[in-house]
Chains A and B, each alone.
Chain A
Amino acid sequence: MSGLTLRLRAPATERINLDGITPAKLAALPSHEIGRINVGIDKGGLALGDAFEISGSPGETLTIEGSGPNVDFVGGGLDSGSIHVVGDVGSYVGRKMSGGKLEIRGNAGNFLASGSTGGFIHVSGNAGDNVGGFIPGDRFGMLGGTAVIGGNIGARSGEKMRRGTIIVKGKTGEGAGTRMIGGTIWAEGGIGPLPGFMMRRGTLIGPSVESLLPTFVDCGKHDLVIVRVMSRYLKGALGDLAPKPMPLFVRKIGGDMANIGRGEILLPAG
């Protein structure tokens, strides 16, 4: 499997924008043009080759080493192949990703997987606010694909999320699933306070929730077949990264009743 490696030459003094820097795009460019791609954000611009030491040959994989929190939009627009990052990354990682695989061995910033429609993202550390959320100008947040975050995630994850799955090994921050339209957020460490504000549909799953909005209602204890379907699907798709199956009976909290109330928070039934 051929691939290109980008090694950050020095800690970035300005934000670096890697939007659209994908294995397929680099493979389609003449080698002398790869280093000239502008990845800076100010007027002067910053060439990829100035920011990174480039080695290897373009192919199905792209490896980014020595990355830091100033490197934004990693995997933005990724549709095939895989990107491996060693180090932290900044915001908008996996933005509008439609396929392929993005592996971050570090922490990620805000708006991870915003507007993504497919593919798989794995962050070994924590992620910031608005994971799978929407950014102004977008109609929806995450629209598909799967993101697995090994640590915790920040506030308002899944805001206006419509489809897709976010697995959190740790906890979610405040307001997970705010204005959620669909999709699933499964937090193995627990759901933070006040989730699902104005959510229409969608599912939040966890062992516990810190506090509930008054517009959420207890729907009782249930044996939901769909939870089994989700568990089996995720085990097949993610292997060891899949969340542990929920117990047979779950307590369903329905809401937000201030909206159409088709959303749900699923907790183990006591």
Chain B
Amino acid sequence: MSMTVNGVEIDDTFAEAFGMSGTGIIITADSLKWARIAATVATGFGTSVIGCGAECGIDKELSPEETPDGRPGVRILIFGFSPDALVPQIRNRIGQCVLTSPGSACYAGLQASQSLGLGKAPRYFGDGYQTAKKLGQSRYWRVPVMDGEFVIEEETGVTTEAVGGGNMLILGCDRAGLLETAEAAVDAIAKVDDVITPFPGGIVRSGSKVGAKYSGMFASTNHAFCPTLRGTVKSELGPDTLAVLEIVIDGLTSKAVADAMRAGLKAVTDTGAKRGVTRITAGNYGGKLGQHHYHLKELI
């Protein structure tokens, strides 16, 4: 049975999420602007493992006091189906997007019992002129580049306790107001550590279902939530719904995903009704997709 909070209806349902592997990487640069640039490019084309190989995003910005080299930085998170699947993603994204970015350096952003190569491949760009410096348990590679040295830590931690696919669907009768509310939810989620919202601006308009009528398509539009199909298909939408936006959350732990969903739901219910938000629901596959279930009512 649904409930209503500040004029927004909350469905009695749950977001269904699945286990993933996740890693963290700290990227620093001479300024926060350039750390952000490197991180944004490195996490680009990282929305869904269905087509991108990994789900990526910026977790948080770090002050100079929080980074290994005392410069401003950001932490990015990268999620995939297994530690092995993350290896080529890290190699390509760091090699092509961080190594190339002016003034950048790259460090382990997650301490865990398992680790993955971070600088193991990029160091070979040094063509034999690279050198290593081991400090404590960490080895740092120094790769000569045209603006000095690219410093990169040899390994970063990886967890297999990560969770992908935490989600909420926000329904409304005003598309612009709905987007503003979703943005506010993404901003609230960004304040939670250890999570990312990998889609553009953290928001998905193309919610999907598994499979399609066309061979070769692993996923296709979630027609039950497409407003323009209401009346022609078995729709999940009421007559007042003009648009639906989804926020997808990946986190290093299940608790982080739950905290993020809680923050997002609060942001939506706090001001959503004024902007035309009418209802919040969540995507699930009847419990068959993943072992992590986030019941909306419990998070409100």
- Using CB atoms and an 8 Å cutoff, list the residues of chain A in contact with chain B: 144, 163, 165, 182-184, 201, 203, 222-226, 228-234, 237, 262
Contact = CB atoms under 8 A, between A and B. Distances in A.
Given A165-B135, A184-B133, A233-B136, A224 B70 contact: no
A119 to B, nearest CB: 12
Given A144-B134, A165-B135, A237-B136, A229 B148 contact: no
A262 B148 contact: no
A226 B136 contact: no
A223 B138 CA distance: 22
B134 A232 contact: no
B136 A232 contact: no
Nearest to B138: A233
Interface in B149-176: 149, 151
Interface string B56-89: 0000000000001111000000000000000000
Secondary structure at the B interface, as helix, strand, loop or mixed, is strand
| Complex A-B, nearest 9 residue pairs according to Cβ-Cβ distance, in ascending order | A228-B69, A233-B135, A225-B151, A229-B69, A225-B105, A228-B70, A163-B134, A225-B69, A226-B142
Interface in B117-151: 129, 131-136, 138, 140, 142, 148-149, 151
B151 A229 contact: yes
B131 A201 contact: yes
B134 A262 contact: no
**A184, A222, A231, A233: residue with the most chain B Cβ atoms closer than 10 Å:** A233
Given A233-B68, A237-B136, 6 more contacts: A184-B133, A201-B131, A203-B133, A225-B151, A226-B151, A233-B138
B136 A224 contact: no
A228 B135 CA distance: 12
A223 B148 contact: yes
Nearest to A201: B131
A144 B138 CA distance: 12
Contacts of B69: 225, 228-229, 232
A183 B148 CA distance: 20
Contacts of A237: 136
Nearest to B67: A232
B115 to A, nearest CB: 18
